[in-house]
Structure 1
């Protein structure tokens, strides 16, 4: 399947043990048939929305407790469009010390990376800012 050519990002709802994202458009994400209009954190079979962060557009260690519990291979952050949300230096350092790869991209691109990594069998978590 060529995700890059699909402007609506319609994906199968689930692959393996992890939750896949079926659709994303600005301010809206569909996961397992449910539409979310607030930020989302996905880790293993958990899908948390609204995903609130203490500093709004800055992701801090206390915002990713679920991720740290699951110790994925990677945390994929959808920064919104055009990419306002970013991991703090503390998060970058903490994940690096644990050997967890951090991938930060605008949300549309992050959705593609998240689903591809799941298809490849990777254990990933994702935090997605749905708007700016």
Structure 2
């Protein structure tokens, strides 16, 4: 299954193509998407994205993971989290969220097995 395109992004609002729900923060992978609820793993801007935030996306067979750090890049991504992803043989790319969505959608257009986690506010 292909990864779904991110149809739109604005402050606090993301829309994934083919999904009737809109998200504040979201996770996407080949064949699906869901809300990224930080309360599930105790995530906060600092120390930031933890391996537990990524596990469900990484299990979907992605070859590349794109992380969106927020519109003002307030969400941290610790080196230990990047190492965790790389040790699984997955390419990881981290950007400000608008740039992350552009990168993710470009990879989708190329037919890549790409997943992503995106923070749409600060």
TM over 0.5: yes
Deviation at 1:71, TM superposition (A): 3.4
Q: 1:75 aligned to 2:65?
A: yes
TM-score where L is the length of structure 1: 0.80
Higher relative contact order (CA 8 A, sep 6+): 2
The superposition leaves residues 38-57 of structure 1 with CA deviations (integer Å, 9 ceiling, x where unpaired) of: 21011112211143242222
Task: Tell me which of 16, 27, 35 is aligned to 1:41.
Answer: 27
CA distance in 2, matches of 1:110, 1:40: 12
Give the equivalent residue in structure 2 for 1:55.
43
Question: Which of 14, 19, 31 lines up with 2:4 in the alignment?
Answer: 19
User: Secondary structure, in 3 states, of the residue corresponding to 1:104?
Assistant: strand
Q: Which segments of structure 1 move beyond 4 Å, counting only runs of 4 or more?
A: none
Which deviates more, 45-54 or 94-103? Answer: 45-54
C-alpha contact 1:22 1:31 (8 A) present in aligned 2: yes
**Separation of aligned partners in 2, 1:131 and 1:26:** 5
How many angstroms does 1:99 deviate by? 1.6
Q: Using the TM superposition, give the Cα deviation of residue 34 of structure 1 relative to its aligned residue in structure 2, in angstroms.
A: 3.2
Distance in 2 (CA, whole Å) between partners of 1:35 and 1:28 is: 10
Question: What does 1:1-132 correspond to in 2, within 5 Å?
Answer: 17-32=2-17, 34=20, 36-52=22-38, 53-57=41-45, 58-132=48-122
Q: CA RMSD in A?
A: 1.7
Q: Separation in 1 of the partners of 2:83 and 2:112?
A: 22
In the TM superposition, residue 37 of structure 1 has moved relative to its aligned partner by 4.1
**Superposition TM-score, scaled by structure 2 size:** 0.85
Shift of 1:17: 1.7
